[in-house]
Structures are given as structure tokens and as C-alpha cells.
């Protein structure tokens, strides 16, 4: 089709055209980069209708509940792949050959150790410190170990820091957990898979052998996969913006961790479980649904709704099945699952939620699985952050690999005081 255009008519001005760009799938975009020269800006707080970049990594169709990673549907990846293979796919763009995967797994395994000095960083935290506060601080501090050997314009050096982050985040996350419960840190083991290694660092103690339950290792790997990447969400956009100034990748990932922590974003899994525990029983669900619908009440159903998905989050469907599998395998009858299932049923029938297209999202079931695995609520968003590190660093790498990459610098609609002269204190 001939180049598409958008015509803009600003009152009192000549109409002008803006080019429209089309991608492989999804909405076309109007290229507004020259709009400033016409004396106007676009206005889109919350970025409801703004494409901040071009990307080849992940595609979401919110209306159809579709999530593709480099073109592959999340359902097929969850069924047939594993987290490290997905990491390779997200970062490099193609599924690895058997040899490429073996080399990648070996490289990641051999980067899981952290500098011994990092263990001392934790001593600065009070014992009650939230593990997300520790993760954010320690990952940011990793910059102090690697800031001088990183030329971010060199793809090979960017790849090395990406591998380091994917490898070391589980070690640091497990250290945050061990510190919070007063147990000794557990070193990574090269004979374990990525998910087995994380569970071993979380739950083993020097006093006895620990054997990783394969059901839990598989569930952990699924949870890692389902949280790996999700297009230009708040934390990924944070990492891109931080990275656009040339900041050290460890500092950028720390910024992503900070953004993810909010209850409207990655903190929702922790908030969702807390909400289910507060509801407590099926008969109290109507009371909380009413609160969620009450405009005067700030309460929202955690784990429901999504900026993009106006249909079921495809990750929630996989997570729901994993939830049932884990509870069955562990012979756990968790009343919170009954509350969650009944809440899902009621919400999906309630006109308020139907009209507003509020469906369970990725955070709705993950908390129940993590709780069943013996992981404390305060670690839920830490696990989300660990999983999402590959998404963050893949977007960071993609952005820095672009020709003509620019620093991100949005403009504003100024509504403050017009220019005025200074008034000395005696005249105020
Ligand atoms: C994640 O962006 C991503 O991709 C994020 C993520 C990822 O993988 O990176 O998918 C991970 O963050 C999932 C979302 C987890 N958050 C929660 O579960 C918190 C609860 N959900 C909401 O706070 C909310 O749904 C958001 C923040 C997720 C989305 O909010 P939007 O798109 O800004 O929508 P909105 O707040 O404008 O809500 C639209 C309407 C409003 O009512 P009206 O003002 O139109 O009358 O729906 C209502 C809201 O009040 N609404 C809810 C609700 N979510 C939205 N009402 C009750 N309960 C809810 N959960």
C-alpha cells in the first residue's frame, strides 16, 4: 500500500501530514517526531497510545490475549521450552541449536558466583529489610564491580553483562532471602539446573542434604518463563530510559527493579496473596468485590486488570494450570485457591468487570504457587524481578544496538505560573 499518512489540522494553521509506519503486527503508528516544529506536542500521560520505540522482542495483542516472544506463542514455549532457552531466544532472536544451548547454559552456570564482597553489602541492611530493597541496592552496587570494563557500544561487552546479570540475579535474590531469615548464604552449584540451583540456594542449609523436588523445579522454571518479558511495561520502559543516557547496565536493572516493586505492577503478586488472605473465605468475596467496584474506595482486586490485556492474560491461563498441578503434586489443599477460583468465577460474571474487561493477570495465580512452594510473600516480586531481568536486558541491548539511538527526553504541557519578577521578602 502507498505510504500511509495522517493529516493534522491545527486550528488557525495550514493542515499538514505526518507519516504512518506499519510493523509486522499490531497497530500502525503516526510518526510525530517532527511535530514540535509545528508548535504542538502530543499529550499522553501514562502512555496509553504512545509507541516509545521499535522492537522485535515481544508482541502482545491485548484484545485476543496473544503473547509472542520473537514470534513464538507463550503457550507453546511454556509447554516445550525452558527458561534458559527462552533467555537465549529473547536476547539473540532465534531458538538455539542444541550446541548453542549447551554453550549458553554452561556460560550462565559459570557466571553464577558473585564477588565475595557482595556478601558484606547485606550486613548494612536491618534484618527486617524487604528483600526487594536489598535486591535493588545490591544490584545497583554491582556497578561498582564492573563499571570500568564495559563499553556499551560494543555488542560483545553488552552480551557479557547481560549473561552476568541473568546468572547472578538468582544468587543475589537467594542471598536476600537467607539474610532475611538469618540463615547462611548458600553458594551456587554447577551440577544443578538454573531453577534447581535457585531452589537449592533458597532452601538448603549446611546442616543436612537438600534434594530439589522436581515438581517444584519445573514449576519454578515455568514461573520464570511466564514473567520473562512483556513488551514496553513500566519497568522495561524504565530500563530503556535509564539505558538511553548510557548508564551502566547494573544501574539500569536496579532502576527496573525499583519500578517493578509498585503494587500496580510487579508488586501485585505479593498484594494479591495478601488480599486473598484478607478475604479469607469464599463467603467474604462479595464484600471485597463491592469494595473494588466502589469508586469512593481505593481498593482494587489485585491480580485483575491490565493496561493491554482486555481478555484473559495468556500467562494467567498457564499459571492457573501450574497452580493446580503443584498443589496436587504436593497434596496441598489451600483454601486460598478455593477463594481465588471463586473470586475469578464471580469477577468474570460481574457486569462491572465484564464491561471494564478486567480479567485475571499473570499475578493472580503466581502467589498461590509460590506460597505452596514455601516461598514467603515478601520474595514474590523478587522472583518476578529475577525472571524479568532477561526481558529488561534484552530491551536494553536492542535499544543500544540501534542506529542513531537517542537519549529519552519527553516534553510536557506546562500549567505553572507565567514568567514573573522576583519579589524581595519585605514586599511579599
Ligand atoms: C503487571 O504492563 C505490563 O505488561 C505489566 C505486567 C508485565 O508483565 O510487565 O503484565 C505485569 O503489572 C500486571 C498487572 C498487575 N497489577 C495488578 O494486578 C494491580 C490491580 N490492577 C490495576 O491496578 C490495573 O488494572 C492496572 C494498573 C493493571 C491497569 O490499570 P490501567 O490500564 O491504568 O487502567 P485503569 O486504572 O484506568 O482502570 C480502568 C478502569 C477504572 O475504572 P473507571 O475509572 O474507568 O471507572 O477499570 C478499573 C479502574 O477503576 N479497574 C479496576 C481494577 N483495575 C482497573 N477496578 C477494580 N479492580 C481492579 N483490579
H/E/C letters for each residue in the chain?
CCCCEEEECCCCCCCEEEEEECCCCCCCEECCCCHHHHCCCCCCCCCCCCCCCCCCCEEEECCCCEEEECCEEHHHHHHHCCHHHHHHHHHHCCCCCHHHHHHHHHHHHCCCCCCHHHHHHHHHCCCCCCHHHHHHHHHHHCHHHHHHHCCCCCHHHHHHHHHHHHHHHHHHHHHHHHHHCCCCCCCCCCCCCHHHHHHHHHHCECCECCCCCHHHHHHHHHHHHHCCCCCCCHHHHHHHHHHCCCCCHHHHHHHHHHHHCCCCCCCHHHHHHHHHHHHCCHHHHHHHHHHHHCCCCCCCCCCECCCCCCCCCHHHHHHHHHHHHHHHHCCCCCHHHHHHHHHHHHHHHCHHHHHCCCCECCHHHHHHHHHHCCCCHHHHHHHHHHHHHHHHHHHHHHHHCCCCCCCCCCCCCCCCCCCCCCCCHHHC
User: Ligand 1, atom 2: nearest CA belongs to which residue?
Assistant: 233
Residue 9: predicted pLDDT: 94
Considering only residues 336 and 22, tell me which one the structure prediction assigns the higher pLDDT: 22
Average pLDDT for 354-362: 90
User: Ligand 1, atom 3: nearest CA belongs to which residue?
Assistant: 233
Place 333 in a pLDDT band, splitting at 50, 70 and 90: confident
Report the range of poorest mean pLDDT among 211-220, 226-235, 336-345, 407-416. 336-345
Active-site residue set:
306, 363
User: Ligand 1, atom 47: nearest CA belongs to which residue?
Assistant: 356
Residue 368: predicted pLDDT: 87
Residue 148: predicted pLDDT: 63
**pLDDT digit string (tens) for 186-218?**
999 999 999 999 999 999 999 999 999 999 999
**pLDDT digit string (tens) for 92-125?**
999 999 999 999 999 999 999 999 999 999 999 9
Q: Is 70 exceeded by the pLDDT of residue 1? A: no
Query: In testing the pocket of ligand 1, which one of 285, 296, 305, 350 has its CB within 8 Å of the most ligand atoms?
Result: 305
**pLDDT digit string (tens) for 272-299?**
999 999 999 999 999 999 999 999 999 9
Average pLDDT for 38-57: 96
pLDDT, the chain, mean: 94
Residue 228: predicted pLDDT: 98
Residue 2: predicted pLDDT: 60
Q: Is 70 exceeded by the pLDDT of residue 171? A: yes
Amino acid at each position: 500500500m502507498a505510504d500511509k499518512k495522517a493529516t493534522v489540522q491545527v486550528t488557525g494553521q495550514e493542515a499538514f501530514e505526518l507519516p504512518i509506519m506499519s510493523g509486522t503486527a499490531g497497530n500502525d503508528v503516526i510518526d510525530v517526531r517532527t511535530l514540535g516544529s509545528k508548535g504542538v506536542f502530543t499529550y499522553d500521560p501514562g502512555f496509553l497510545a504512545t509507541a516509545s520505540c521499535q522492537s522485535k522482542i515481544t508482541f502482545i495483542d491485548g484484545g485476543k490475549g496473544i503473547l509472542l516472544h520473537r514470534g513464538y506463542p507463550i503457550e507453546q514455549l511454556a509447554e516445550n521450552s525452558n527458561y534458559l532457552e527462552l533467555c537465549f531466544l529473547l536476547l539473540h532472536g532465534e531458538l538455539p541449536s542444541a550446541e548453542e544451548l549447551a554453550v549458553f547454559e554452561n556460560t550462565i552456570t559459570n557466571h553464577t558466583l558473585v564477588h565475595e564482597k557482595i556478601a558484606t553489602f547485606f550486613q548494612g541492611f536491618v534484618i527486617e529489610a524487604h528483600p526487594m530493597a536489598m535486591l535493588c541496592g545490591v544490584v545497583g552496587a554491582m556497578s561498582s564491580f564492573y563499571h570500568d570494563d564495559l563499553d556499551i557500544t560494543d555488542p560483545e561487552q553488552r552480551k557479557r553483562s547481560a549473561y552476568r546479570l541473568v546468572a547472578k540475579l538468582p544468587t543475589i535474590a537467594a542471598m536476600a532471602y537467607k539474610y532475611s531469615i538469618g540463615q547462611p548464604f548458600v553458594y551456587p552449584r554447577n551440577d544443578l539446573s538454573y531453577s534447581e540451583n535457585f531452589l537449592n540456594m533458597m532452601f538448603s542449609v549446611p546442616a543436612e542434604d537438600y534434594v530439589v523436588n522436581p515438581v517444584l523445579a519445573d514449576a519454578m522454571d515455568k514461573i520464570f518463563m511466564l514473567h520473562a518479558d512483556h513488551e514496553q511495561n513500566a519497568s522495561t520502559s524504565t530500563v530503556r530510559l535509564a539505558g538511553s543516557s548510557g548508564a551502566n547496565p547494573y544501574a539500569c536493572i536496579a532502576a527496573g527493579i525499583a519500578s517493578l516493586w509498585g503494587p500496580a505492577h510487579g508488586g501485585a503478586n505479593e498484594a494479591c496473596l495478601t488480599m486473598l488472605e484478607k478475604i479469607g473465605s469464599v463467603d467474604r468475596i462479595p464484600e471485597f468485590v463491592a469494595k473494588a467496584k466502589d469508586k469512593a474506595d481505593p481498593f482494587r482486586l489485585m491480580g485483575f486488570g491490565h493496561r493491554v490485556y482486555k481478555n484473559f492474560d495468556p500467562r494467567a491461563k498457564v499459571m492457573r494450570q501450574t497452580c493446580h498441578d503443584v498443589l496436587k503434586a504436593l497434596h496441598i489443599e489451600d483454601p486460598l485457591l478455593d477463594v481465588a477460583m471463586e473470586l475469578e468465577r464471580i469477577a468474570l460474571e460481574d457486569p462491572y468487570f465484564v464491561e471494564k474487561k478486567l480479567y485475571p493477570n499473570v499475578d493472580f495465580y503466581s502467589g498461590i504457587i509460590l506460597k505452596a512452594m514455601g516461598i514467603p510473600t515478601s520474595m514474590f516480586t523478587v522472583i518476578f524481578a529475577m525472571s524479568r531481568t532477561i526481558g529488561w536486558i534484552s530491551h536494553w541491548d536492542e535499544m543500544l544496538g540501534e542506529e542513531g539511538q537517542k537519549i529519552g527526553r519527553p516534553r510536557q504541557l506546562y500549567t505553572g505560573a507565567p514568567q514573573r519578577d522576583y519579589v524581595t521578602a519585605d514586599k511579599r
